[in-house]
Amino acid sequence: MLKQSTARNLMVFLTASSDHVTGLTGATLTITASKNGAAFASITPTVTERGDGWYNLALTSAHTDTLGDLVLHITAASADPIDLREQVFAGLPGESVTVSSIGTDVITSTALASSAVTEIATGVRTELTTELARIDVATSTRLATAGYTAPPSAATNATAVRSELTTELGRIDVATSTRLATVGYTTPPTVGDIADAVWDEAISGHLSAGSTGKALDDASAGGGGGGGTDWTAGEREQIRFRLGIDGTASTPSASPSLATPAGVRTELAVELARIDTTISSRLASGSYSAAPTASDNATAVLLAAETTPIRSDIRKVNNYTIKGSGTLIDPWGPV
């Protein structure tokens, strides 16, 4: 007995054809098989010699895949031929019957007595009714009565969320200054305070190479105006007033006043006079050389021509086209 689609080892005994009794050793088996009455076909299971004429055939699931008779015809040189017949079943006696073992086998009313079918159906319906009654019940009845609390409703949850949001927003919506340590908080300076500090800052403390302070100090030292007295306190007040950066609402009383067009023109004339000066006066005397005049340049060119011939390719003189190279052999002349 073989189980369908299941590997199985099958032992066979070969007798020597010389006496039909002695077990034949060292034989090479040739095997053909017929499945459920079909034509014989060659198969090649693994054959292992066990001794004294016995051989093990390792049949695979492919060899036992068909229900019904499995007939093997075995031959070997110097051996009597052997014919074996096995039966392939879907299941073997003693095996547990499961859904997977039944597979596609279906129990129908034609395979059972009518009374058996009725009894099975009645038993199934009774069991289903019992089990469904256990399932179809309020879920809360399955919870421990003492430890069960009904969950809050959607409205209750919404109210709780709104309440918490109001509390938290109240903590956020507050003046920032109230979060600062009172003893450590200083009101920041106004725009006017910053402007005054910039104007009143001493240049002497900002003379690093490449800095604005250094450039201003160099300009004052070079004679570009009145030096450190270019801007008086009154002038700075007027400038701040005209720029509107100190919040002063009244017109400064300094004369001339920059609050009037005439005063502005007067101050501009003074400052432009400081700017409108010969550029050479701004250059360091030691490193400045005056540029040569046109006459100096012409004289230098002529002197150079006396020592070094000027070579040129002249093709036209007084609007006349000429030919030749200017040599004794090929003198210049009109075309």
| DSSP line for 161-209 | HHHHHHHHHHHHSS-GGGGS-GGG--PPPPHHHHHHHHHHS-GGG---T
What confidence score (pLDDT) does residue 191 get?
87
Average pLDDT over residues 34-61: 96
Q: Which two tokens stand for residue 32?
A: 């053909």
User: Of 46-55, 221-230, 250-259, which gets the smallest average pLDDT?
Assistant: 221-230
Question: Taking the alpha carbons of 230, 235, 240, 244 in that order, is the dihedral positive or negative?
Answer: negative
Q: Please name the helix (run of DSSP H) or strand (run of DSSP E) that holds residue 31, with its range, or none.
A: strand 30-35
Q: What is the dihedral of CA 273, 277, 282, 286, to 10 degrees?
A: -140
The model scores a pTM over 0.85: no
Given a contact cutoff of 8 angstroms between Cβ atoms, the answer to whether 105 and 91 are in contact is no
Which percentage of the chain shows pLDDT scores above 90? 30
Residue 71 binned pLDDT confidence (cut-offs 50, 70, 90): very high
Helical H segments across 222-260, by residue range: 233-243
Q: Does domain 2-92 have CATH number 2.60.40.10?
A: yes
Q: Diameter of the chain by CA atoms?
A: 152
pLDDT at 113 over 80: no
pLDDT at 102 over 80: no
Where do the domains of the chain lie? 2-92, 196-277
What confidence score (pLDDT) does residue 130 get?
85
Q: Which two tokens stand for residue 9?
A: 């080892």
**Nearest by Cα to 334 from 324, 155, 15, 308:** 324
Given a contact cutoff of 8 angstroms between Cβ atoms, the answer to whether 53 and 61 are in contact is no
What confidence score (pLDDT) does residue 213 get?
80
Average pLDDT over residues 193-221: 81
Compute the distance between CA of residue 74 and CA of residue 178 in angstroms, rounded to an integer. 104
User: Of 36-45, 148-157, 318-327, which gets the smallest average pLDDT?
Assistant: 318-327
Q: Which two tokens stand for residue 257?
A: 């006043």
Residue 66 binned pLDDT confidence (cut-offs 50, 70, 90): very high
